[in-house]
Amino acid sequence: MDGAPRQAEVSRLMILDVDLHHQQGGFTLQTRFQSDGRLTALFGPSGSGKTTLVNIIGGLINPDEGHVRVKERVLVDTRQGILVPKHRRRIGYVFQEARLFPHLTVKQNLLFGRWFSPRRERSADFAAIVDLLGIGHLLTRWSSGLSGGERQRVAIGRALLSDPHLLLLDEPLASLDEERKTEIYPYIERLRDEGNVPMVLVSHSVPEIARLATSIVVLNNGQVTASGPASDILRHTKFFPQSGPIEAGALVETRVLRHEEPYGLTVLQAAAGTLTVARLDLPVDAPVRVRLRARDIILSLSPPEGLSALNVLPGLIAAMEEGERGSIDVTLDCGGDSIVASLTRKSVERLGLRPGLPVQAIIKSIAFDREALGSARAGNM
Ligand SMILES: Nc1ncnc2c1ncn2[C@@H]1O[C@H](COP(=O)(O)OP(=O)(O)OP(=O)(O)O)[C@@H](O)[C@H]1O
């Protein structure tokens, strides 16, 4: 036995299991994926079918063929003639606009969500949800006077109070500016990490899914071009043609190792080694998810000397594949962390890169959550 879960166990672990065929005018949605993620991001360009897919999961569109299962519940199975009506699906929706009732207070808006859960099954804890979303101080306010970010937090709270089995977030942050988005991300992260409601997030933004998603489904023209754990998918620049090599890259989990106060720097510990960044306003040992964008990594055959870059990680080339626009994605195994560099074919040939070769990854800059930086910014170290 190799310790790998057997197929039956794998299926049980799957939170979302979707296999659909649906024709809509001249557009065909043909999607198949499974996700065990706590937050599954649906990513794809405009018109790729994200909303259609969300509407099928939510019960607003009946698909021609296929099935949708959430945990062990079958919502749709055309072969077995199962089509659970939308009001019985126990799905919470949050849209781009919060759609709160302006003539009700925040508390009344929140309690409205409760009407949708069967009385005997009401388990959502009002106080815990209010606390999780940081909206306790808003309860007596009229919803019409809230900021965009506050409105979305209340909308998420209202959806959670309906005791949903799944939360569908259809571009909930798209109408907010960067600052308001940054205000909401930590709450969605808490929900992902502490709540037990699986979420599906529709998003156009690579930084957003890099920050929030645990699983990613990439849609293109109605088809799934890739799906899997976020860290696996984000590594491939070719799955993100509209953002190109600019945003794709590796996600690396780190912890704060120490602060170097005289230099205004923080040292993070990753499996791959240490990374030095501008001072973070976080305690030692705090977890920090960093994103190493493929375009921000240079490869060298020998340890660089006389270079100002502080972040150099040794690794072995694990894989090489065609990236976006003729570039080559070179994946490195750096002590167990996967890091990807996007290189031109010319550089690959000039350096004689091939799987198994030891190289040094010079990291030009590190992207991560803005509030994790405190007042500092991710710099070119
Ligand atoms: N009722 C309909 N009848 C025919 N075609 C439709 C209908 N609704 C949507 N479509 C088409 O289906 C395709 C997928 O649309 P969908 O809204 O699901 O894409 P999307 O990925 O959500 O796009 P966006 O990011 O712009 O919201 C598009 O080509 C759209 O024009």
pLDDT single digits (tens) 232-255: 888 777 777 655 445 677 888 889
Q: Is the CB of 223 under 6 A from ligand 1?
A: no
Residue extents of the structural domains in the chain: 13-233, 249-373
Ligand 1 pocket test: which of 21, 48, 242 has the largest number of ligand atoms within 8 Å of its C-beta?
Answer: 48
Q: Whose CA is nearest to atom 28 of ligand 1?
A: 47
Residue 222 Cα to ligand 1 midpoint, Å, equals 9
Do 294 and 329 touch, CB atoms closer than 8 A? Answer: yes
**pLDDT at residue 7 in the model:** 43
363: β partners: 297
Count other Cβ atoms within 10 Å, centred on residue 91: 23
Is the C-beta atom of 66 inside 6 A of ligand 1? Answer: no
Taking CA atoms only, the protein residue closest to ligand 1 atom 8 is 24
Instruction: State how far the Cα of 34 lies from the Cα of 69, in Å rounded to an integer.
Output: 9
Whole-prediction pTM value? Answer: 0.73
* Look-up of token digits 């962390």: 337
Mean pLDDT for 75-88 is 94
Nearest atom of ligand 1 to the alpha carbon of 219 = 21
Asked, colleague to colleague, whether 13-233 and 249-373 share their fold, the answer is no
Give 10-61 pLDDT, tens digit per residue.
Answer: 444 678 999 999 999 999 999 999 998 789 999 988 889 999 999 999 999 9
Res. 376: pLDDT tops 60: no
Nearest alpha carbon to residue 373 among 226, 234, 215, 266: 266
Residue identified by tokens 């894989």 is 319
The 10s digit of each residue's pLDDT in 278-306 is 888 889 998 888 888 888 888 999 887 76
Q: Which fold, 13-233?
A: Rossmann fold (3.40.50)
Give the pLDDT score at 174: 82
pLDDT in tens, 305-350: 766 667 899 999 998 988 777 788 899 998 888 888 989 899 999 9
Measured from the Cα of 49, ligand 1's closest atom is 18
251 neighbors 231 (Cβ within 8 angstroms): yes
Cα 344–Cα 348–Cα 352 angle in degrees, nearest 5: 170
**Residue 297 to residue 324: CA distance in whole angstroms:** 16
If you search the block for the tokens 């949903």, which residue do you land on? 164
In this model, does residue 4 exceed pLDDT 60? no
Mean pLDDT of the chain: 84
* Complete DSSP assignment for 83-143: E--GGGS-EEEE-SS----TTSBHHHHHHHHHTTS-GGG----HHHHHHHHT-GGGTTSBG
Q: Is the CB of 96 under 6 A from ligand 1?
A: no
Residue corresponding to tokens 């979707």:
18
User: Is 51 near ligand 1, meaning CB less than 6 Å away?
Assistant: yes
Pick the CATH number of 249-373 from 3.30.1370.100, 2.60.40.10, 3.40.1080.10, 2.40.50.100: 2.40.50.100
Q: Residue 284's closest CA among 254, 310, 313?
A: 254
Q: Say if ligand 1 is within 6 A of residue 48 CB.
A: yes
Q: Which helix (H) or strand (E) holds 379?
A: none
pLDDT at site 180: 78
Per-residue pLDDT band for 116 (boundaries 50, 70, 90) equals: low
